[in-house]
Structures are given as C-alpha cells and as structure tokens.
Chains A and B, each alone.
Chain A
Amino acid sequence: MVIKRSRVLLLALLTVLLAGCSANLQKEPNSKQADEPIEIKMLSSWSTDTERGRALHLLVNKYNEARAGKVKISIDINPDWPNYQEKVKTMIAAKQPPDLFNYNFNPNDLSRQNSGQLLDFSPYMDEQWRSRFKPEDIEALTFNGELTSIPYEKAGVLFYYNKKLFAEAGIQTFPQTWDEFFAACAKLKKKGIIPISLMTADDSWHSTNALTYLAAAADGMDVFKAGVSLDTPGMVAAAEKLKQLFSYSTDDAIGANYSISSNHFALGNTAMIIDGPWLIGSLDDELQKNIGISAGPLVHQGHAQKGFIVTDTYTPWSAGKQASKEKEQAIVDFMKYMTSDDGVRLMTLEGRILLSAELSLSEEELKKAGPVLSQFIDVSGSAPESIIQISRVLKPAAISKLPSLIEGMMFEQYDPAGMVRRMNEANQ
C-alpha cells in the first residue's frame, strides 16, 4: 500500500511533466510528406487594425491561394515593435531564428548579421530580382559578401503641417529655414495655436525626429556616422533649438507618448508634427484635405541641401537559415513576390507604406492614394539627400538613454551642451 502511494505521487508528477513535453513536441515540424504544404511562419508587427496589416494579410492570402497545396504562409503578429525586435534577437541567440521577420537595420548593431543564423539571399539575387532595388540599398545591407536582408521599407519622416491653422496665423508657405520656422511658431502661438506636437516617453520619437532635422541641417548627412564624435557645436546648437521647440509644444509634451502626441495633431490641436507615412491612416478625411507635407528647413551656413529629408532606417526582411532546401526556395520565392511590382503596388496603395523597391505609379493611382500620401511620395522622391533618424543609428546603449537625456535637459539638470556630451559618451 505504501509503495503504491508513492508510485501514484511519482506518476502524477510525471504526467504533469509529460503533458508539457508532448504539448511541446506537437509544435515541432512534422517530417514533411510530399503532399503536405511547406509551412512558413512570418513574424510581423502589423496587426489587422492598421492599414498596412490588412494589406499584408491580403498579400499573403493572395500568395497562399496562388501556391495552394504547396506553400502556406502564416503571419504571427506581435504589435509591440520594440518587444518584437527583442524577441527576434533572443530567438536568434537560441539558434531558432524565425522563418521570416523584419527589423530595424542599425549599422551600429550588426549582431543579427554576425550570428551566422540568417539565410544568405545573394545566390538567389539574379539580375531580374536585383533590378527591383536601388543598388545603394543592396550595398548598404551587404556584409562580407552576404546579403541576409532584403531591402523593403525605408519611409521618409517628414513635416506634416495643417494648412488651415497656418492660414489662420497668416503663414502662406512652409518655412524654408529654421529661423523662419521659429518665426512661424511665434506667429502661431500668438494666435493661440500650439505650433508642434512633441513627446518624450518611450523612444521620444517625434522629438528625436526634430533633433535629427536640426542636427542634419547644421552638420550635414554624416553627422551620426559611426566613429564620428557627436559632441560638435552643430549638435549643441541643435539641442538648444530642440529645447526652444518644446516651448512651442503642448503642455503635456514631456511625458507624452506617441498616441498623445499624434492625437494632438490629428485633432487639430497642434499645427505640425514630424512623422512617417503610417500617421496618415489616423487622420480623418476632412483633415487630410488640409495637410501639407514638407522636407526639412535649413540653417544659415549649414551643410544640408535644400529639400533634404530624414528617413526611418531600413526595415528589411530577413529569414532564418533552413535545413530543408525546399523551404529555403519557398522563402525566396515569397520574398520575390513581396518585392515584385504587384506586391509593392498592393502594399503602397492599400497599406500606405513607402517601399524601397522600384515602383512607378500612374497619375490615377497617385490620386487614389489620397492627397497626403501622394505629397509624401513626391517629397520623398525629390529629396536630394537623406539622413537616417538618430534613434536608429546610435549604439543601443545610447538609444536607450536618449529620451531621458532630452528630459534631463528640459528639466535643467544640464544644459544642451551637457546633454550632447552625455549622449556622445553613451555612444562610445
């Protein structure tokens, strides 16, 4: 009897453990039979609550239909972008890279490329496929002769301005220099209009956009280049101007997150915001008619060309190395479809996402894209030069410090020069 009891206990324990194990085993890919479709799991942050998410689902469904019975792509959504980015890194660290994922490319953080876990696309990069991309994009993503990332999105981050509010303050055109810009802000403020949406929570996105524009206008497009000191007079001046800009923002700018900041603009509380094309979906039709899009203002004796823009970094797609050749080919085939003319057209028009692959839109299609997106495409397309947003190119340690450094400057814990010095130190 006694022995039996102990056995029962042991059994109970084992069952619990085994139940877990078997649940896990089911998840392992079954050995493929010829008639079973190849399953590819694609990670994405674009939930179906967003236009781009719906467009991606449409695209994947189209592809699955065309390859019915052979390939099945399923999308796993993790809408929290920073969290998703870290997940990918940890999956690579555990030598289980995802089948397909996208990420923010950072020349200062090549841990993914150096992991040896990613699929090299270069053998598949034939002339036809290569012609879909700008040569410099391919070049920027090639390391040690390996192309582990397919260029996809590289969205401009541009000035949105509310023409109606500008007109109320008697401003006709978007300012061409930062001096004019601040003069315009003063005019708006006088009329009781808050000039610009800024924020400092999370990654401090709208504020670091402004900082990038200010820094690039002064020091040119190489201001954040790896190995170059950030502690320059141009950067200090940029930080000073950023501080000044906060006095033209909402009273909740410090501590505001992306939603609060962008909602201020979307509801017409503020006259300007600096953001990417994904904001367009949050603006209602009435407002869209009054939106102007512009490139960055210049500074006196600055090193930037007129019409320069800030862009988000490359957000390319990468794939994990595959044991099965068939699956590898299936992944390549899908990537070719995604970057094909059809695929890009669908994502641009339905998902309002600006891609780095070549695409020429007809007048009619441009019109269909809506007034804001067509301006966006226009301004991005005619920019003579561009710079990648600051919080995408610094070392991770500096990126994580940047928002609190801006807040510290705003609370007078140190002056703009002190803020720049600390930022530079964190970037070593």
Chain B
Amino acid sequence: MIAKRHIVLYLMPAVIFTLLFFVFPLIFAGYISLQQWNGINEMVYAGLDNFKLVFQDPVFIKAVINTLLWVAGAVLLHIPFGLLLALLLARQPRGWKVFRVLFVLPNVISTTAIAFLWYFVLHVNLGLVNNILKLMGLGALARPWLADLKTALFAHQLPFIIYAGLTMVVFLTRISAIPAELNEAAKIEGATNWQKDWYITIPLVKDAVLINIILNLAFCLRMFEYPLLMTGGGPANETVNLGLYMFKEMIIANRYGVSMAAGLMTIAVGAVVTGTTLALSCIMDRRNGI
C-alpha cells in the first residue's frame, strides 16, 4: 500500500490530461453529434438525424470499409513485409547496418512529403511506375493508378505498405533478444535458415507482432495524410476513409454534427477492431499456455 497523497501526486497529471483529451472530447463530440451546426451560428438540436444521415450515406459506408481495408493492409501486407525485412537483416548480410538505416529513413522524413511524392510516382504520364513499365515493354499495363477504380485503393496504400522501417525495427529488437544458443542448436541439427526462421524466430517474436499490430492499428485508424494528399478520396469516393470523411464534413461541408456523428462511429470501429485483436491475442496466449 502507498499513501494517498503520493498516488494523487503521481497519477493526477496524467489523469487530468486524459480527462481533458479523451473523456471530455468524447462527451463533447457526443453532444455535437446531436446538433445541426455549421460551426458559427446557433446550434439546433437535431436528435439522431445526423446518425441517420451518416448511415444512409453510401460514402460513409465506403469510408468504414476502406478504414477496415487500411487495417487489413497493415496486418496482411505491411507487418509481414516488415517481418520479412527484419528476418533478412537479422542474418546480418553484407551491409545490413546500412540497409537498416536506409529502411527507417523514410519514416523520419515526412509523411506529407512521401504522400505527395508517390502521387507523382503513380501519375499516369509523369509517373515512375508507368514509365518503367513502358521501358520493359509492358506499356499495356500502364494505367492512371490513383484514378482507376480498380487500382486506386491499393495504389494509395502502397507507400504505407512499403515504408515498413519502424515495424521492421520493432521485429529486429525482438529477434536480437533471442538467445544465440537456440539458433546454434538448430544449426547443429542441420536446419536451413528458413527452417530456423519458421520454427524458432517467428514463434518467438509473437509478442512483437502484437505490438506492431497495435501500433499500426492506431496509425491506420487515424490515417489521413495519404488519402488526402494522394487521391483526395477519389476517384468517385473510392478511397475515402473515416478520417477524410470527418474532415470533409467539417471543413468543406461545414456540418459539424455530421462530422462528429461519423467521429463517434470511428471510435466504435476502433474499439471493435482493437478489442477483437486483443481478445484474439489473449485466446492464442492461453492456448499456448503462456
């Protein structure tokens, strides 16, 4: 046990911040979501109209789906890619330190700059991708990647998937903590590198997977820069996500109530997704008897 004053002293600052930046905003957002309000003039109580409007808006449904697809992109592509890079670098090939530095570099530069840069990389005439395809004689595959209904969604996630440096470092951290004896034992048994990775390394970095999932979930749920700067949500709302939907409703359409109704739904989606992840990880832990 510890004296109450100590608890108050140490805990209060963080609690005050949490109240200010999480609890109060939640209440405030809930209040605004029930109003019809353009941000300047008087609020008019609107009951659940904003929620009705949001649920009947096909663009909002699209935004929810796309947000979930961002999460899927993180879990199915970004994190495995980061893991692959980590496994390759963990074997310490020639120049691995340089690669490690280079792979993390884009993460510290600027998401804004990267998003804009990739707008150009994927541009139909000026873009690197189409011009390389043409050089290789695959000009038929060239297309306006970000303006094509079929490719826009994947194309605007591409920079996020590729720049997996931070995710990689989290894995590397965990891999470097694996006792060397384990690997040596496996070597004596005659295991190949891939077998070692599959049977020893990957099971041991499971907690790093969970950390990466949580970090990237948080990132994907509040994803905003890539859709805004690369596609603006287009073509025909194909790439709108919840962050952009809220932003557009607030900033362009001036419907603060609708924006916050969507905001509350975003929080609900976030809670469901993260809750599911944590529950799954608990179940798996228990099954493995950890």
Interface residues of chain A, those whose CB is within 8 Å of chain B, are 6, 9-10, 13, 82-83, 86, 89-90, 92-93, 109, 111-112, 114-115, 200-202, 251-252, 254-256, 260, 396-397, 399-400, 403-404, 407-408, 410-411, 413
| Min distance, Cβ B177 to any Cβ of chain A, angstroms | 33
* Chain A residues whose C-beta falls within 8 Å of the C-beta of B9 in the assembled complex: 6, 9-10
A115 neighbours in B (Cβ, 8 Å)? 40-41
Contact A252 B123 (CB under 8 A): yes
**Selected A-B contacts with CB under 8 Å, 7 pairs:** A89-B254, A252-B147, A254-B235, A396-B253, A403-B232, A404-B236, A411-B149
In the complex, how many angstroms separate the beta carbon of A311 from the nearest chain B beta carbon?
22
A399 closest partner in B (C-beta) = B252
Residue in B closest to A91 when the chains form the complex, CB atoms: B40
Residues of the A chain whose Cβ atoms lie less than 8 Å from the Cβ of B232: 201-202, 403
Is A90's CB under 8 angstroms from B147's CB?
Answer: no
Residue on B nearest A250 in the bound complex, by CB: B125
In the complex, A352→B234 CA distance in Å? Answer: 33
> B146: nearest residue on chain A (CB-CB)?
A255
Select B234's contact among A9, A255, A397, beta carbons within 8 Å: A255
B124 on the A face (CB < 8 A)? yes
When A13-B13, A89-B254 are in contact, do A255 and B236 touch as well, CB less than 8 Å? no
What's the Cα separation between A13 and B231 when bound, in Å? 43
Chain B: minimal CB distance from A87 (Å):
10
CB distance from B249 to the nearest CB of A (A): 8
Contact A200 B235 (CB under 8 A): yes
Closest A residue to B59 using CB positions:
A404
B115 to chain A, nearest CB (A): 13
A403 to B252 alpha-carbon distance, docked (Å): 12
By Cβ-Cβ distance, the 7 closest A-B pairs, closest first, are A255-B147, A407-B236, A400-B252, A408-B236, A111-B40, A400-B253, A252-B124
Looking across the interface, which residue of chain A has its beta carbon closest to that of B232? A201
CB distance from B185 to the nearest CB of A (A): 49
User: In the complex, are the beta carbons of B234 and A201 less than 8 A apart?
Assistant: yes
Q: Is the CB of B254 within 8 A of A111?
A: yes
> Is chain A's interface secondary structure helix, strand, loop, or mixed overall?
helix
Partner of B248 from the list A10, A112, A254, A400 (CB cut-off 8 Å) is A400
Whether A200 contacts B234 by the Cβ 8 Å rule is: yes
- Chain B residue with Cβ nearest A83: B251
Contacts of A9 in B (CB 8 A): 9
Number of interface residues of B (CB under 8 A): 28
User: By the criterion CB–CB under 8 Å, are B235 and A411 in contact?
Assistant: yes
With both beta carbons as reference points, the residue of chain A lying nearest to B256 in the complex is identified as A93
Q: Are B252 and A396 in contact, with the CB atoms below 8 A?
A: yes
State whether the Cβ of B183 lies closer than 8 Å to any Cβ in chain A: no
Cβ–Cβ contact B41 & A114, under 8 A: yes
- Docked Cα-Cα span, A254 to B234, in Å, equals 9
Query: Is there a chain A Cβ closer than 8 Å to B255's Cβ?
Result: yes
Residue of A nearest to B119 (CB): A257
Please state if A254 and B252 are interface contacts (CB–CB under 8 Å): no
Give A200's nearest chain B residue, CB to CB. Answer: B234
A427 → chain B closest CB, angstroms: 12
* CB under 8 Å from chain A, chain B span 221-262: 231-237, 248-249, 251-255
Residues of B within 8 A of A410 (CB): 235-236
Q: Which residue of A lies closest to B252 (CB)?
A: A400
Q: Write out, one digit per residue, whether chain B residues 1-40 have a CB within 8 A of any chain A CB (1) or not (0).
A: 0000000010001000000000000000000000000111
Give the shortest distance, in Å, between B97 (CB) and chain A (any CB).
Answer: 37
B144 adjacent to chain A (CB < 8 Å): yes
B144-A93 in contact (CB<8A): no
CB closest chain-B residue, reference A202: B232
A255 in contact with B231 (CB, 8 Å): yes
The residue that B39 contacts in the complex, of A111, A260, A404, A413, with Cβ under 8 A, is: A111
B40 is contacted by which of A92, A400, A408 (Cβ under 8 Å)? A92
- Whether the pair B254, A404 counts as a contact (CB closer than 8 A) is no
| B125: chain A residues within 8 A (beta carbon) | 251-252
Q: A251 to B124, Cβ gap below 8 A?
A: yes
Q: Supply 12 further A-B pairs (C-beta < 8 A) apart from A86-B251, A201-B232, A252-B147.
A: A10-B9, A86-B252, A90-B39, A114-B41, A202-B232, A251-B144, A252-B125, A252-B144, A400-B248, A400-B253, A404-B235, A411-B235
Distance between B45 CB and nearest chain A CB, rounded to angstroms: 18
Whether B40 pairs with A411 at a CB distance below 8 angstroms is: no
The answer, among B40, B59, B149, for a CB contact under 8 Å with A89, is B40
B254–A413 CB distance below 8 A: no
